[in-house]
Structures are given as structure tokens and as C-alpha cells.
Structure 1
Amino acid sequence: MNAQTLDWSDIPYVLAVCEAGSLSGAARQLGVNHSTVFRRIEGVETRLGVTLFERLSHGYIMTAAGEHFFRNALQLRDGMNIIQRELGGQDLRLAGALTVTTTDSLLHCLAPVFSAFQNEYPDIELRLLSGTRLLDLMQRDADIALRPTNKPPEHWIGRNLSPLAYAVYAQKAYLEALQDQPVTEQRWIRLNDNLNQSPMSQITLEHKPDGAGVTLCDSLMGVFDLVRFGLGFGALPCYLGETCHDLVRVHDPDERFNSDLWMLAHPDIRRSARVHAFFEFATKNIRSAGFRLH
């Protein structure tokens, strides 16, 4: 037989006999009976095809093969202790880096969730990345993605946290100034996205009157800021529009343009304690009544 057939669970029995010098001493150390240690030692020697111990009247003495086994088994035990101490301790403390990618607007809205999570798990180094580019979870640019989408990638694991609705908003003072004015006096702030595929662009194209002025902006938060400071009308996610008391919802949401808020992760890291902790924490808090997403 070769060494590949050695059972890892046999190693502590051999080590105990090496250290105690007897079957009875090893049995006490391991908390098992004498016969169990005897069978394990006999089985290891049979599988390896060597004699690890000389059986003397006063105990078990290591042979040269036994000493070789002892030295290498000690290294294995030390290595396992290091893994348990360093990695096991981190899991208990939920420590280490956790990178979450999301959009600027969701970061603005969900800042209380991120803040509460960081306070709950201070040993986790939370790294928040925002922007319009969907970072690649397959390439490990991020551990978790929080994104609006109707078609999450099939190869990722995830949860649909909430529908996201969109509506047209305008500043109260801006609306009052436009009373009795022709529609050509209106100005609309439109998101400058590729092929007008975003819900915001589609809603703007549907509701903007012919002849009304247009201002283009290449970021959602930019549209939000221009609308709330009174430049004109703008289609916004309700999770942004409803947070600003100076804004009035001009048109109700149209379900045709809804999307969903998905939390996604790579399948290989779904058993990560940090990822699991964030999934559970974010799901509970984002779905709570405190966040009006639609």
C-alpha cells in the first residue's frame, strides 16, 4: 500500500502514542479507550507497510520510520492550528475586506444601510464603489453588486430586494412660476444615456411636450440636483424624488418602466461569512418600511 491511503484522522493517534510513549497514555490524552488506539496504530502501519513503534514491556518506542512520521505529522498539526487560529478567528470576528459596487443614486439613498452595517461589523473593511460601469463580479472587481436591472445575469446568485419605480418630478417653486405659461416655457432635464434605454429617458420622451426646452446631463445624480434646484422637470427614481421635500411628483409612476433592485454575488463566494452577513443585513433593512423605493 502507499501513503496516499493514509487516513488524516489517524494522525492524531500516532502523534499521541509518540508523545505519550504508551497506548494507555495516548488513550487518556485523546479521551478514547485503549483498544481504539491499538487498532488505529495497527491500521496505519499496515497501510504504510512500515513499523512505527517497537513494542516493549514498558511502552512504545519510535522506530526510525516512527520518528520520520512524528516530525512531519507535527508540522501538519502546527499548520492546522495556524489555519484554525488565523482564519477561524477572522470568521468569528467577521473581519476582512468586503467590496460592494452600486450606483451613485443608490449609495445616496442607502447610505444609512451601509453606515449601520459598518457599525454592526466594525472589523469588516467595507469598500463602496459607485458609478455607472457594472463592475465584473466574475473578475472579482467586487464581492457584491447592488444594481437596478430587469435581467440579472443567470450565473450570479442574488436576491430581488424591491421594485424600483420612476416618475416625473419638479421643484414646487418652479411649478408655481410656470402657472398659466405655455408648454414651450417648460424645460426638461434628460439623462444622456446610450440609445435612450433607461427608464428615465423613456419617461421623459413620453411626457415632454413638443417645443419644451431640454438640458442633457450624463449622471442620474446630476439630473436630480438640477431638478431639485429648479431648472426644470425631470424623470427620477422614486427613491430619490421622494426624499426631497421641495419636489412635487408631476406624473404617477408607470409600471411599464419599472425595474428591480437586485443584490448579486459570485457563486464561488456565497459561503463567505462577510457576504452572508451583508446579504442578510441589507435584505432586512432595504426591505423595511424606512426606504420607499417605489
Structure 2
Amino acid sequence: MDQWDEIRTAYHVARAGTVSGAADSLGIHHATVIRHVDSLEARMGVKLFQRHARGYTPTEAGVDLARIASTTEEQFAQLGTRLKGQGEDVSGEVVVTALASFAPRLTPVLAEFHHRHPNTVIRLLTGLRLFRLEYGEAHVAIRAGSAPQEPDNVAQKFLNLELALCVSPTYVARYGMPTEDTFDQHRFIGVDDAHSRAPFARWMNEHIPSENITFRVTDDVSQQQAVLAGAGAGFVVRGEHPELIEVMPVQPEWRSGFWLVTHVDLHRTAKVQAVLNCLKDAAVEWVKSDPAISLPD
């Protein structure tokens, strides 16, 4: 642990560039910072910093050490999240990840969960990034597409979401109405990821000429906004925007399955089970009012 303290100190010196900056960050005396760095350099037999009037500049060895220490410190912090989730009470951080477009449905549910469990702090992380549950980056991940394959994760079917290929009236007024026979004469909105797992993305790659995919996006919210703006035909949740026009009948392969994913070490904890039950109850209610949502078979 003494050696880790020294490595951690050196990392903060590299990040701050000064002894005083590292001391403030760590909450220790500047003399302790200097002692840690000197001791670590002596033990390793290599110079980690060039000392000068403006502060400390890491050498090549110092840069390597700082990079590794940064990852280690991050993993220690994530481990803390995992350990805090293993208690029998429902308290502390509750970290849930989902696609950004799912936030309007999800936020009221998590708000109600917070009201029921006032000792919790809710963190809703949205985007396409797959958060590493094994490092404690999240308690529950809501993921779309095919079944997650990570061996240490528990994946449960959550719900299905019907998507439709739509255009806006603005697009039709400018370019006409696309039909299955005229796809090669129209513009389409696609994802900027050739390896996307989304079923609709695979369908588009197979049925739409690549030169006709003239507007590409990196997330589902941008895709929806591009369709609304008339950039082309693209996929949106069926019925979510009544003003849009469906290009063709909904295809079974456009259906997107969603999964509730947890790490095996936290899956049975009281907090994670409480979140899972809350989300499953919400899905049942969503089905009653949203024709685009169905429960898995």
C-alpha cells in the first residue's frame, strides 16, 4: 500500500504539473509529495520527472506510470461503486445506463424509484457507449439489439420496440414519396457505424444502396431529429411522431429487443433487484399506453 500511495502521488504530480497542485488534490502536505516521488524514483531506479522552476514535467517513464496509475485509480473508484451496491438496504448510488431516446420513458420511472427510496442518488447515463459492468460503471444497463454475450453478466429480456421507416411531410414536398420501387431515387438516414448491432441498421445496409444513405448519425436521438428535419427517410419509434409518414409496412426484422443487463456479483443485491422490479413493472404499464412497445414472449 505504501508503494501504491507513492505511485498515486506521482500520478497526481504528473496531472497537476506541480507539487503544490498534487498536494491540494490529495489533501496532503507538499513535503509528503516530494518524499513519495523521491522514494519511488529511488526504488524504481529511474527518473520520473524533470524538475524546473515552473514545476514537474514527466519523463517518458513518468508518462507511462501516470497512464497506468490513472487506469488503476479509476478501477479502484469503480470497485467502490460495486462494493456499495452489495448491501441489503436500498441506498447510495443507483447507476442506470440506456440509449438517450429512452430517457423520456425512463426518467419518470427512476424519479418515482427515488421517491420510494429517498436515501438513493440516481445517475442516468445515456448514450451508445457500453458501460463496463464488471468494473462497477453501472448497476443496471438497458441495452438494445441482440442478446449480450459477456459471460459475467446476467441478461434478461425487457421489452420489444417497434420501429417504422418514415419521412417527414417536408421531405415529401421536396422530393416526393419514397416507395419500395424507388429507393434508389431517394435519400436515407443511416447510422455512422458499419458494425452496428441494431436490426434496422442491418436491414438498411442490405436493402438501401450505400450511395443513397446521404445523412449519417451516431445516436438514436440525432436519427429522429434528422427524420423530423426532412433530411431523408429513416427509422423512428412507430407512432411517436404522428406527423411523420410511414414509407412501407413495418417489417418484423425492424423490431428492436431491449435487455436488462446486470453483473452477476450484484444481480442478487437488494438495490439491483429493486431497480429491476421497478423497471419491469414500468414496462407492463408502458405496453398499455404505447402500441410500439410489447413484452417479450
- Matched letter for residue 286 of structure 1: A
Q: 2:203·2:253 contact (CA, 8 Å) conserved in 1?
A: no
Change (3 A) 1:205 1:157: closer
Deviation per residue, 1:9-39 (Å, 9 max, x gap): xxxxxxxxxxxxxxxxxxxxxxxxxxxxxxx
Q: 1:283 to 1:203 in 2, by over 3 A?
A: same
Match of 2:145 among 130, 144, 149: 149
* Displacement after TM superposition at 1:266 (Å): 1.2
Number of residues of Structure 1 aligned to a counterpart in Structure 2: 202
Is residue 227 from structure 1 mapped to residue 224 from structure 2 by the alignment?
A: no
Alpha-carbon offset, residue 201 of structure 1: 2.2
What is the distance in 1 between the residues matched to 2:260 and 2:123? 16
Determine the C-alpha separation between the residues in 2 that align with 1:275 and 1:252. Answer: 39
Partner secondary structure for residue 203 of structure 1: helix
Q: Does 1:166 align with 2:163?
A: yes
**Structure 1 stretch 284-293 or stretch 204-213: which is displaced more?**
204-213
With over 3 angstroms needed to count, the CA separation of the structure-2 counterparts of 1:95 and 1:170, relative to structure 1, is same
Find the aligned partners of 1:269 and 1:180 in 2 and give their Cα distance.
50
**Cα deviation, residue 232, structure 1:** 1.5
Unaligned runs of 5+ in 1: 1-86
Q: Deviations over 1:114-170 (max 9, x none)?
A: 233223323211111112121111111111111113222343223211123332111
RMSD: 2.9
Matched, 1:281 2:270: no
Q: In 2, distance between residues paired with 1:120 and 1:147?
A: 25
Letter in 2 for 1:219: D
Identity of aligned residues (%): 22
Question: Contact between 1:187 and 1:232, CA under 8 Å: does it hold in 2?
Answer: yes
Greater mean deviation of Cα atoms: 153-162 or 276-285: 153-162
202 and 261 in structure 1: CA distance in 2 versus 1, 3 angstrom threshold: same
Deviation of the 1:188 alpha carbon: 1.2
CA distance in 2, matches of 1:271, 1:152: 19
CA contact (8 A) 1:183 1:211 kept: no
Is contact 1:165-1:254 (8 Å) kept? no
SS of equivalent residue, structure 1 residue 142: coil
Distance of 2:177 and 2:158 partners within structure 1: 42
Describe the shift of the 1:230–1:120 C-alpha distance in structure 2 as closer, same or farther (beyond 3 A).
farther
- Aligned partner of 2:289 in structure 1 is 290
**TM-score, length-normalised on structure 1?**
0.60
Unaligned runs of 5+ residues in structure 2 are: 1-83
| CA distance in 1 between partners of 2:174 and 2:100 (Å) | 31
CA–CA separation in structure 2 for the residues paired with 1:282 and 1:180: 39
Closer, same or farther: CA 265–224 of 1 in aligned 2, 3 Å: same
Structure 2 match to 1:24: none
Structure 2 partner of 1:96: 92
Larger Rg: 1
Residue 262 of structure 1 aligns to which amino acid in structure 2?
W
In structure 2, what residue type is equivalent to 1:161? F
**What are the equivalent positions in structure 2 for 1:17-166 lying under 5 Å apart?**
91=88, 94-153=90-149, 154-166=151-163
Partner of 1:251: 248
Question: Contact between 1:158 and 1:265, CA under 8 Å: does it hold in 2?
Answer: yes
Q: Which residue identity lines up with residue 290 of structure 1 in the other structure?
A: S
Q: For 2:108 and 2:278, how far apart are their aligned partners in 1? A: 12
Check whether the contact 2:187–2:233 (CA below 8 A) recurs between aligned residues: yes
Q: Which sits farther off after the overlay, 170-179 or 260-269?
A: 170-179
8 A Cα contact 1:178 1:185, kept in partner: no
